Amino acid sequence: MTTGRDERFAQIDLKATAVAGLALILTVIVAWLVEIARGHSGQPYDWLAAIAGLAYLAAVALFRWRG
């Protein structure tokens, strides 16, 4: 008996996760730009963008090393 989680579902899940991550990163960038345009520091968004960038670089390095 199958659980309903096959390769097709795994690919759909992976793509949906990537789209959600992209939407979140774009939101952080836009929020940072708005804060800078208003004359504020944008510092909370600096940290979120930095964490996202470092996580991306770490994932690329890990997947290249494992693959």
> 1 or 57: which carries more pLDDT confidence?
57
> C-alpha dihedral over 33, 34, 36, 37, to 10 degrees?
110
Give the pLDDT confidence score for residue 6 in this predicted structure: 86
pLDDT score of 13: 94
**Burial letters 22-41, b for 16+ CB under 10 A, else e:** eeebeebeeebeebeeeeee
Band of the pLDDT at 61, cuts 50, 70, 90?
Answer: very high
Could you give phi then psi for residue 30, rounded to 5 degrees?
-65, -45
| pLDDT tens for each residue of 5-55 | 789 999 999 999 999 999 999 999 999 999 999 999 999 999 999 999 999
What is the pTM assigned to this prediction? 0.75
